[in-house]
Amino acid sequence: MRAEPLSLREQARRALDDGELQRALAVVRRGWQDTRRRAIDELPEFDELREIGARIRDHVLAHLDIYLERFAERVRAAGGEVHVARDAAEARALVLRLLEQHRARRVTKSKSMVCEEIGLAEAMEEAGLERVETDLGEYIIQLAGERPSHLIGPAVHITQERIRDLFARHHQSDPDNTPEALVAEARQVLRRHYLEADAGITGANFLVADTGSVITVTNEGNAELTQGLPRLHIVVAGIEKLVPRMEDAFTLLRLLARSATGQEFSAYTTIITGPRREGDLDGPEAFHVVLVDNGRSDLLATRFRPILRCIRCGACMNHCPVYLAIGGHAYGWVYVGPMGAVLTPHFLGIEKAYPLPEASTFCGRCEEVCPVRIPLPGLLRYWREEAFRRRVHGPSVRAGLGIWAWIALRPRLYRFVVGLASWSLRALGGRRGRIRRLPGASGWTRSRDFPAPEGGGFVAGWNRGRRR
């Protein structure tokens, strides 16, 4: 059976015509690229730091078993518990069971991409649990009933006017259309939820093996309130989030903030180790970490392993001309932009996701800005090879490539074909030297003229003695 492929081209068309989205994307382009640039210009050792960051991540990935065990040991020693989920279903079940065991019905949740990946929100809804997203962007998305469109700015596609309207409708209020008024109103509403919640669910930016600590960074302080106030704290994190030592986490945090938002450091960096201890003023009574594998250990054994270095900063999408043209939703799944185009085929299968690796010019901007030097275009090319090997394209694509290569491997025949193509295209171009409509190349000629050949192939011409 053939899986229905993601309709990236359709989605892209819609996105390109969506004026609101286009205005929002222009802000990403102007805002985040410039702030990153400024932050990096102020840190001459940034490139060196990237090397160290990449090495830390590679080291962890090469010894993941050891660090997982060490981390679990330390969490238990601190009074917490660690669970490992093999796949998304297991992860959802684990979280739901924990919530049930602790009779938790009202749940606050800070931003976590892995929770999106495992479909936790839907599972909680089906279980009749109340979930409130506490990251402002995620909260907006929740009100809008949408999906995040960016790793660190989930609501980046939603304009301020629409946020105002969403708030007015859902809060039965009438806030001013200013960032300050909207943030103040969200804070007011969220505060009540923080205090009433039975459980808080957070993701993790890093898990420190040596200490059993979980590190989250935010600019709103919402992760602290999500994990510190309710009686139960559940951390959901991918197994690749481990780092050996606290020092390593801080090296990566320096890279993360600069690459993501251009900050030297995020406004809030929270390190939590186990549940509330005797004499602690706050903190949860129970502390659980759900480590999600969901195919990550399979990836480790493949040439796609470098994608597991990813620290989810979003720099690749902030600099990707394709992402900046179409936004995140067009990618059709949780992870978007270049890192998403590498990850999604792994989760959904290349038969379904092959349009994503193809939606790249291999311009290399993503690799250029990646703080842990993931060779993203190279990994996308591997997916194209995988797609080709599994024959996901129709026979005409393969035949076209086959005929072209067959000719290109026969230089004399190739010269003849070049001569023929040159002559006929030149005839089509006429005196103007360009073709307005070319059968079979409408993808090009619908928006561009097609430059006609000057005539007389160069290689043949030169070897006949022509010199200009």
Partner 1 sequence: MARPEVALFATCLVDLFRPTIGYAAAQLIADCGAEVVVPPGQTCCGQPAYNSGDRERAQRLARQNIELLEPFDRVVVPSGSCAGMIRVHYPALFADQPELAERARALSLRVEELSCFLCERGARVTVSLPAPLRATYHDSCSGLRELGIKEQPRRLLAQVGGLELVEMRECESCCGFGGTFCVKYPEISTRMVDEKVARIRESGAELVLAGDLGCLMNIAGRLRRSGSGVEVRHYAEVLAGRLDRPPIAGAG
Residues that bind partner 1 (CB under 8 A): 8-9, 12-13, 16, 321-322, 325-326, 358-365, 367-368, 381, 383-389, 397, 401-402, 404-405, 407-409, 411, 414-415, 418, 421-422, 429, 432-434, 441, 443-444, 446-463, 466-468
CA Rg value for the chain:
26
Coil/strand/helix, residue 214: strand
Question: Is the Cβ of residue 34 or residue 264 nearer to partner 1 in the bound state?
Answer: 34
Q: How far is CA 59 from CA 89, 240, 245, 371, 392, in A?
A: 29, 11, 12, 16, 35
**Residue 273 exposure: Cα atoms within 13 Å on the Cβ side:** 12
Comparison of 31 and 119: residue with beta carbon closer to partner 1:
31
Smaller CB separation from partner 1, 173 or 424: 424
**In whole angstroms, what is the distance from residue 211 CA to residue 76 CA?**
11
**Measured from the CB atom, is 340 or 457 closer to partner 1?**
457
CB of 159 to partner 1, least distance (A): 19
Of the pair 179, 433, the CB lying nearest partner 1 is at 433
**CA 22, CA 12: separation in Å to the nearest integer?**
12
Provide, rounded to whole angstroms, the least separation between the CB of residue 432 and partner 1.
5
Least distance to partner 1, CB of residue 146, Å: 22
Structural contact between residues 197 and 129, judged by C-beta atoms closer than 8 angstroms: no
**Which helix or strand (DSSP H or E) is residue 223 part of?**
helix 222-228
Contact assessment for residue 338 and residue 364, using Cβ atoms and an 8 Å cutoff: no
Q: Taking the complex as a whole, how short is the minimal distance between the CB of residue 8 and partner 1, in angstroms? A: 8
Buried b (16+ CB within 10 A) or exposed e, 163-190: bbbbbeeeeeeebeeeeeebeebbeeeb
**Closest to partner 1 by CB, 8 or 209:** 8
The minimum distance between CB 25 and partner 1, in angstroms, equals 10
What token pair was written down for 11? Answer: 């989605």
- How near is the Cβ of 447 to partner 1 at its closest, in Å? 4
Minimum distance, C-beta of residue 333 to partner 1, in the bound complex (Å): 18
Of the pair 46, 268, the CB lying nearest partner 1 is at 46
Closest distance to partner 1 from the beta carbon of 360 (Å): 7
Q: How far is the CB of 398 from partner 1 (least distance, A)?
A: 8
User: Is 347 or 414 the residue whose CB approaches partner 1 more closely?
Assistant: 414
> b/e string for 64-100 if b means 16 or more Cβ within 10 A?
beebbebbbebbeebebbbbebeebebbbebbbebbe
Is-contact 53 198, C-beta < 8 A?
no
Nearest to 115 by CA among 256, 270, 238: 238
| Contact by Cβ (8 Å): 410, 401 | no
Residue nearer to partner 1 on the CB measure, 276 or 381: 381
